[in-house]
């Protein structure tokens, strides 16, 4: 295959996948497939650049048509890619895999939770097993009722189901029983040191006097913890680990502590609460869980949880760690988000700049995109940083064939076409799917166009008002442009711009950007513009996602507001 044809093929494919072909991407493919091209890189790159700009001048319809006619295999390939699978699960037996989705109801779920839930759900379904939605709710200081529901709603939106719902807080008696067992075995003790001493001893690797207490003494102290003879912070149950361990998690960690705050479900029924490590170590075995997929921030805790299970004679599940990932320009930590909300820097948990599921949904990122992202990064063990470009590319690919297109203009500028005929424009709802119909818009020569288009015009320019007719710019005045009608013959190379008539509606267009640039909060990360849109936009349901031609994909957020997901 010759160079030009090859470059053309990849430019078309690249443009179709990403909205625009990139010279770099095309060159990469060409050099890989045609090593001899490396002999004259300059010439080859010049040729590629020419082809890429030719392709970028084509409409999506033309690109699709060219691919179908000349390189149908490239469209086939796209279908194949969608059937990606994650690697097989070690030790998995069909029908017997049990996994868990373990949220703590202390915040609204974000994309990191979603990926963890997804991996666990995926394998349970792949092996015809079971997935348990397990609320790890043993810290009444942090948990709230609203988060239980928000998590379930997030899961439903994401399209994940579960076979059983379980709340750890319903099983405190079980953890007490295991705690007693550890005490009797000499594997746990009640420590009465004050928090500062505990902290100091931990960092210096020193044992305290309580470590030497007999199991009988510890049992008695433990019962006193349960019956209310100690107040908050006066006594904790500690695991007898190794105060000199390099893994500081093993330095006699807390297994249970007194918390007097009311629990959102259990109220003030209990005063002693197991720590995450203790309850999780038990339940990951006791619930019949065979496989635990979790991000490597838990890796250091593994040693402890494993040791607790060993001491209690509980079966060990298979644990698979994948790398925690970050999304460019956002911080997912609930502490950071809470602070941003308090400072008024974001509008709430559903702010479209956040990667909470509510935020992503509000921005117009669809659940399929997060699933595909999960498949894309897989169980990576390197630390991936997910760029918004990647999220946008996947989302665009999914939305593009599904959603209809509309005309709107941002920061409108008046355009008067002299002697314009009264024409009814027929705008296709989607160029690739004629069966979706058209919108008819009567015109009378008075239009609005986007400021960004207006700024590029100069007298004498001949342009086409898309799907209408051609005009020649005559005069650019203050706040108004005048033009002459030029007929409606279609010329291929003529620049096309979107327009709306005076019979349009005013909306706000909200454009989110990266919330953080490096570590700095980006004060310009949410901008709002005046937008005029065709009447049909007023009839859309709130929540609907559409494409505003040459602006981008947007979700209707309120009667008079759209949020731009991405270009």
Q: How far is the CB of 192 from Zn ion (least distance, A)?
A: 6
- The backbone torsions φ and ψ at residue 337, rounded to the nearest 5 degrees and listed phi first, read -65, -45
Is 301 a known active-site residue?
no
Minimum CB distance to Zn ion smaller for 191 or for 500: 191
Is 238 a known active-site residue?
no
Q: What is the CA radius of gyration of the chain?
A: 30
Q: How far is the CB of 220 from Zn ion (least distance, A)?
A: 16
Query: Which of 148-156, 210-218, 337-345, 500-508 is the region at the interface with Zn ion (rule: CB under 5 A)?
Result: 210-218
Query: Binding residue for Zn ion (CB under 5 A) from 110, 187, 210, 550?
Result: 210
Q: Is 391 helix (H, G, I), strand (E, B) or coil?
A: helix
Q: How far is the CB of 200 from Zn ion (least distance, A)?
A: 11
Of 473-502, binders to Zn ion (CB under 5 A) are none
How would DSSP label each residue in 434-467? GGG-EEEEE--SEEEEEHHHHTT--TT-EEEETT
Minimum CB distance to Zn ion smaller for 103 or for 241: 241
Is 125 a known active-site residue?
no
Minimum CB distance to Zn ion smaller for 58 or for 192: 192
Report if residue 208 touches Zn ion, rule: CB under 5 A: yes
Number of residues counted as binding Zn ion (CB under 5 A): 4
Strand partners, 495: 463
How many Å separate Cα 18 from the centre of its chain?
Answer: 18
The sign of the torsion formed by the CA atoms of 100, 326, 158, 524 equals positive
Minimum CB distance to Zn ion smaller for 193 or for 256: 193
Q: Within 10 A of 498 (CB to CB), how many other CB atoms are there?
A: 24
Angstrom CA distances, 257 to 147, 195, 236, 246, 265, stand at 23, 12, 5, 24, 18
Site string for Zn ion, 149-188 (x = CB under 5 A): ----------------------------------------
Q: What share of the chain is helix, strand, coil (3-state, %, to 5)?
A: 40, 25, 35
- Of the candidates 187, 324, 361, 371, the residue annotated as catalytic is 324
Q: Which helix (H) or strand (E) holds 10?
A: helix 3-18
Of 218-257, binders to Zn ion (CB under 5 A) are none
Query: Which of 69-77, 209-217, 310-318, 526-534 is the region at the interface with Zn ion (rule: CB under 5 A)?
Result: 209-217
- Of the candidates 23, 104, 372, 534, the residue annotated as catalytic is 104
Helices (H), 215-333: 215-227, 276-286, 299-312
Q: What is the pairing mode between strands 236-239 and 254-258?
A: antiparallel
Minimum CB distance to Zn ion smaller for 9 or for 210: 210
Q: How far is the CB of 234 from Zn ion (least distance, A)?
A: 11
Angstrom CA distances, 153 to 99, 242, 563, stand at 20, 42, 22
Check if the beta carbon of residue 509 is closer than 8 Å to that of residue 529.
Answer: yes
- Of the candidates 334, 345, 451, 508, the residue annotated as catalytic is 334
Query: Binding residue for Zn ion (CB under 5 A) from 92, 107, 191, 510?
Result: 191
Query: Which of 193-201, 267-275, 320-328, 490-498 is the region at the interface with Zn ion (rule: CB under 5 A)?
Result: 193-201
Query: Which of 79-87, 88-96, 190-198, 417-425 is the region at the interface with Zn ion (rule: CB under 5 A)?
Result: 190-198
Query: Which of 40-48, 92-100, 208-216, 335-343 is the region at the interface with Zn ion (rule: CB under 5 A)?
Result: 208-216
Minimum CB distance to Zn ion smaller for 212 or for 458: 212
Minimum CB distance to Zn ion smaller for 219 or for 265: 219
Cα(357)–Cα(278) distance, rounded to whole angstroms? 29
Closest CA to 352 of 140, 557, 539: 557
Of 266-285, binders to Zn ion (CB under 5 A) are none
Check if the beta carbon of residue 314 is closer than 8 Å to that of residue 285.
Answer: yes
Q: Which residues bind Zn ion (CB under 5 A)?
A: 191, 193, 208, 210
Active-site residues, by number, are 104, 324, 334
């Amino acid at each position: 295959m010759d160079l030009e044809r090859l470059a053309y093929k990849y430019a078309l494919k690249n443009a179709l996948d990403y909205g625009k072909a990139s010279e770099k991407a095309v060159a990469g493919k060409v050099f890989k497939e045609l090593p001899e091209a490396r002999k004259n890189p300059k010439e080859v790159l010049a040729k590629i650049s020419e082809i890429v700009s030719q392709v970028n001048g084509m409409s999506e319809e033309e690109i699709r048509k060219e691919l179908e006619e000349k390189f149908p295999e490239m469209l086939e390939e796209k279908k194949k890619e969608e059937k990606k699978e994650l690697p097989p699960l070690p030790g998995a037996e069909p029908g017997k895999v049990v996994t868990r989705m373990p949220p703590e109801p202390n915040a609204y779920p974000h994309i990191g939770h979603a990926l963890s839930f997804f991996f666990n759900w995926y394998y349970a379904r792949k092996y015809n097993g079971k997935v348990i939605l397990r609320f790890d709710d043993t810290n009444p200081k942090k948990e709230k009722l609203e988060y239980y529901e928000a998590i379930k709603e997030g899961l439903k939106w994401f399209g994940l189901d579960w076979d059983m719902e379980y709340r750890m807080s319903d099983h405190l008696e079980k953890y007490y029983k295991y705690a007693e067992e550890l005490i009797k075995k000499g594997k746990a003790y009640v420590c009465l040191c004050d928090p500062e001493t505990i902290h100091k001893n931990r960092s210096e690797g020193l044992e305290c006097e309580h470590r030497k207490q007999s199991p009988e003494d510890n049992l008695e102290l433990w019962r006193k913890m349960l019956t209310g003879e100690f107040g908050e912070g006066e006594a904790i149950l500690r695991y007898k680990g190794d105060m000199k361990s390099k893994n500081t998690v093993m330095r006699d960690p807390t297994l249970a502590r007194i918390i007097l705050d009311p629990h959102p479900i259990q109220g003030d029924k209990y005063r002693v609460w197991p720590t995450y490590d203790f309850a999780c170590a038990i339940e990951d075995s006791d619930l019949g869980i065979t496989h635990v997929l979790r991000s490597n921030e838990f890796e250091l805790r593994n040693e402890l949880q494993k040791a607790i299970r060993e001491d209690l004679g509980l079966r060990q599940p298979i644990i698979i760690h994948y790398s925690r990932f970050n999304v460019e320009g956002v911080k997912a930590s609930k502490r950071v988000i809470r602070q941003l909300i308090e400072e008024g820097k974001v509008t709430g948990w559903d702010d479209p700049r956040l990667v909470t599921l509510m935020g992503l949904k509000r921005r117009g990122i669809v659940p399929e995109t997060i699933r595909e992202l999960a498949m894309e990064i897989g169980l990576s063990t390197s630390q991936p940083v997910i760029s918004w470009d990647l999220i946008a590319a996947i989302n665009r690919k999914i939305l593009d064939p599904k959603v209809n297109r509309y005309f709107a203009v941002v920061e409108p500028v008046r355009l008067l076409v002299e002697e314009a005929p009264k024409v009814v424009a027929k705008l296709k709802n989607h160029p690739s799917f004629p069966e979706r119909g058209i919108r008819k818009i009567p015109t009378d020569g008075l239009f609005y166009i986007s400021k960004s288009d207006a700024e590029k015009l100069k007298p004498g320019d001949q342009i086409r008002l898309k799907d209408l007719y051609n005009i020649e710019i005559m005069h650019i005045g203050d706040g108004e442009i005048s033009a002459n009608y030029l007929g409606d013959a279609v010329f291929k190379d003529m620049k096309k711009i979107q327009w709306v008539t005076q019979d349009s509606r005013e909306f706000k267009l909200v454009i989110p950007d990266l919330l953080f640039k490096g570590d700095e909060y980006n004060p310009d990360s949410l901008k709002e513009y005046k937008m005029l849109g065709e009447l049909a936009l007023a009839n859309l349901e709130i929540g609907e996602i559409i494409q505003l031609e040459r602006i981008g994909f947007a979700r209707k957020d309120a009667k008079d507001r759209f949020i731009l997901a991405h270009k």
